[in-house]
Amino acid sequence: MATDLGAPATSTSATGSPPATRAPRAGWRDPRLWIGVLLVAVSVVAGARLVGAADDTTRVWALDRDLAAGETVQPEDLTATRVRFAEGDTGAGYFTVDDQLPADLTLARGVSAGELLPRAAIGAADRTDTLEVPVAVEGDQVPPSVGPGSVVDVWLLGAGTGSRRAAPGPSGASGPSGARDGPALSAVRVVSAPPPDQGFTASGKRQLVLAVGEQDARAFFRLLGSTDTPVLTVVRRD
């Protein structure tokens, strides 16, 4: 006797799960689309601002070595450096690498190595206010490399005092330092310096001639006169 087993089972009853349905595509009216576009735009603007701020610097000229007043800045004395000026400061007081440098770059004051080249420092130095001051230094108190054109500091050590003495005169880039324990003369240019094997006096000291401002020279001599058995030490800066 035949038995009717009924209609064949469908795929739904075989797998036990409903058929898959395809999600509809998001249309241009979908708010999620506009939120995504907005996020991308904000990211692009923020990135552009960040990159712009990171490169908000100006390339300016700086000195590669110490130069005293009256010396002329040479191309090899300059090095380009990037500087970020404070808000509101355009850096107009300094020479940028895009500026046309003056033909005469004579310094009116001393400029130290690493210092930005200021426009105010360029100009003919007042040589009528500059004196040539001779100093006699023990041979082991001055570097052999010191010669004409060298920029040096002069330290004064009073024998028996055990401490360096600073000149009471005004502080400046090329004169006595008013700071305690500072050099008696700072950033002065050597005008004349015989070679170490020829420049010793009868006392065994090496004589140097320094270009010093008149007021600074007077303060220096006052300091020498007030120090018992002064001992000078010359330190080369450049």
Per-residue pLDDT of the chain (238 residues), as tens digits, is 455 555 555 544 455 566 655 655 655 666 777 787 788 888 877 776 666 555 578 889 999 988 877 788 999 999 999 888 776 565 778 899 998 888 888 887 778 888 899 888 887 655 557 888 999 999 889 998 888 778 889 999 865 444 444 444 443 444 444 434 678 998 888 888 877 666 555 567 888 989 888 888 999 999 988 888 889 999 988 6
Locate the domains of the chain by residue range: 33-125, 127-236
pLDDT of the residue at 76:
92
Q: What is the DSSP letter of 196?
A: T
Nearest to 208 by CA among 189, 225, 227: 189
Q: Which fold has domain 33-125?
A: Type Iii Antifreeze Protein Isoform Hplc 12 (3.90.1210)
pLDDT of the residue at 188:
87
Q: What is the DSSP string of the chain?
A: ------SPPPHHHHHSSPPP-PPPPPPTT-HHHHHHHHHHHHHHHHHHHHHHHHT--EEEEEESS-B-TTPBPPGGGEEEEEE-PPTT---TTB-BTTSPPPS--BBSS-B-TT-B-BGGGBS---GGGEEEEEEEEEGGGS-TT--TT-EEEEEEEETTT-SEE--SS---TTS---STT--SEEEEEEEE---TTT-B-TTSEEEEEEEEEHHHHHHHHHHHHTSSSEEEEEEE--
Distance of CA 33 to the CA centre of its chain: 51
pLDDT of the residue at 165:
47
pLDDT of the residue at 174:
45
Per the structure block, which two tokens stand in for 203? 């006392």
**What is the longest distance spanned by two Cα atoms in the chain?**
147
Summarize pLDDT for 57-110 with one digit per residue, the tens: 888 999 998 887 778 899 999 999 988 877 656 577 889 999 888 888 888 777
